Amino acid sequence: MADDPFENMLAQMDRAEEYADVDHGVFERLKHPERTLKVTLPVELDSGEVEVFEGYRCQFDSARGPFKGGIRYHPTVTQREVEALAGWMSWKTALVDLPYGGAKGGVICEPKDLTENDLEKLTRRYTEGIRRMIGPETDVPAPDMNTNSQTMAWLMDTYSMYEGYTVPKVVTGKPLELGGTPGRTAATGRGVSIVTERLFEYLERDLSEATVAIQGFGNVGSHAAKLLDESGARVVATSDVTGAAYDPEGLDVPTLAAHVEAGGLIEEYTDGTLRGASRDRTRWDEPDRIANEELLTLDVDVLIPAAVEGVITAENVDELRASAVVEAANGPTTVAADEVLTDRDIQVVPDILANAGGVIVSYLEWVQNSQEFSWPLETVNAELERRIGSAFDETIARYDEGDIPDLRTAAYTIALERTASAHEYRGLFP
């Protein structure tokens, strides 16, 4: 049960219902996705073989506006996972008060085994499969795990070919040359870094004294690491699928990020440069190698899961030594583990708040596309900070207000009330 992300999401909703001012009938409606499309995608690979892939697009709730949500390419994608992720998108857009609903897409594939050409064909075929469902005013995809601005460019091109004119607004996370916004690539990691800083202010603790472990060093994890490092925190451990690197004195984040950006894996990382006076380091040692599971239980101030779902579980939660968890990944904590974290007074900034920076800047991209105008990076980053900051403040205010047990439940009560209120104003069709 706990391993099923959809059940996990429902349990999080149930936990919040007690505290949310939501009619029970409306609440029950919020537990069901509006629709999910399953598509079969035969693709002729460069190897000459025809492989038949399977993909999904789930549109969860549109009471507050067009559907919005990323597309994930991963071998473990399932319909239930896509539906859970679409639900989380709905609560996320409501919590940060964007005029959107929630959606998600996924294709079951192992991108590492596909050539660039294979990925382009797969993306175009998937776009054809879901194109009747998406559109600039109906459902706007974006990148997620293993998809990026190039994937969005192929999606936009395919959709535009069918429409007969260029439709940049059908996706966000596009390359700058195609109507993307400055700041989108780093946005989720930037949001993670902002909420971590806000959490430390709230807890009246000094972030520059803090140690941080980050599971996953992809788009989100690496940008969060760079920004937290710049703000003075000590990033002591990070990982990818191949394993984790740990240095209690602090990793050399810029060098590690350059290694990964150049296509390197964490297990291959042997490089390093002196950190200089800023960290009082006088020598460079190659980081220790530890397992991904070990990273989760390191004695650090902040643990940031930034990879996949369900990594903090009933099995390992008692071993956790971090005093705060900032959920950069979607759904990294199972419900059983969540209850233990609350009992242990470990503050958790929930995913629907912590990783909302990506969808906020996606919204800013969409607004710029609507205006056929572009904003400078400073404007985008300032607006991101304002929006995620006020969602953080609202969540804290709700948490401090009453007997709500944790920040996730506080965030959910706000999101569910906003979505339910939209449903009530709109009424039940027909």
| Residues that are catalytic | 104
Q: Measured between alpha carbons, how far is 86 from 121 in angstroms, rounded to an integer?
A: 25
Nearer to ligand NAD, 170 or 328 (CB): 328
Q: Measure Cα distances from 369 to 166, 295, 365, 388 in Å.
A: 12, 41, 6, 21
For residue 155, the tally of other CB atoms under 10 A from its CB is 27
Q: Which residues bind ligand NAD (CB under 6 A)?
A: 143-146, 188, 215-221, 239-241, 292, 306-308, 328-330, 355, 358
Nearer to ligand NAD, 384 or 420 (CB): 384
Nearest approach in angstroms of CB 147 to ligand NAD is 8
Nearest approach in angstroms of CB 328 to ligand NAD is 6
Nearest approach in angstroms of CB 42 to ligand NAD is 25
Cα separation of the two ends of the chain: 35
Nearest approach in angstroms of CB 398 to ligand NAD is 22
Residue of minimal Cβ distance to ligand NAD: 218
Nearest approach in angstroms of CB 4 to ligand NAD is 16
Nearer to ligand NAD, 19 or 217 (CB): 217
Q: Which two tokens stand for residue 365?
A: 């991209």
How buried is residue 388: exposed, middle or buried, by Cβ count under 10 Å (0-12/13-18/19+)?
buried
Cβ 364 vs Cβ 391: under 8 Å: no
Single-letter residue type at 349: V
Q: Does the N-terminal peptide bond of residue 143 adopt cis geometry, omega within 30 degrees of 0?
A: no
Q: Measured between alpha carbons, how far is 201 from 349 in angstroms, rounded to an integer?
A: 13
Nearest approach in angstroms of CB 302 to ligand NAD is 16
For residue 280, the tally of other CB atoms under 10 A from its CB is 9
Query: Considering only CA atoms, which of 58, 64, 68 is closest in space to residue 366?
Result: 68
Nearer to ligand NAD, 13 or 225 (CB): 225
Nearest approach in angstroms of CB 96 to ligand NAD is 12
Q: 């027909």: which residue's tokens?
A: 430
Nearer to ligand NAD, 306 or 325 (CB): 306
Nearer to ligand NAD, 22 or 304 (CB): 304
Q: DSSP letter string over 366-424?
A: HHHHHHT----HHHHHHHHHHHHHHHHHHHHHHHHHS---SHHHHHHHHHHHHHHHHHH
Nearer to ligand NAD, 296 or 341 (CB): 296
**Helical (H) or strand (E) element with 155:** helix 149-163
DSSP annotation of 310 reads: S
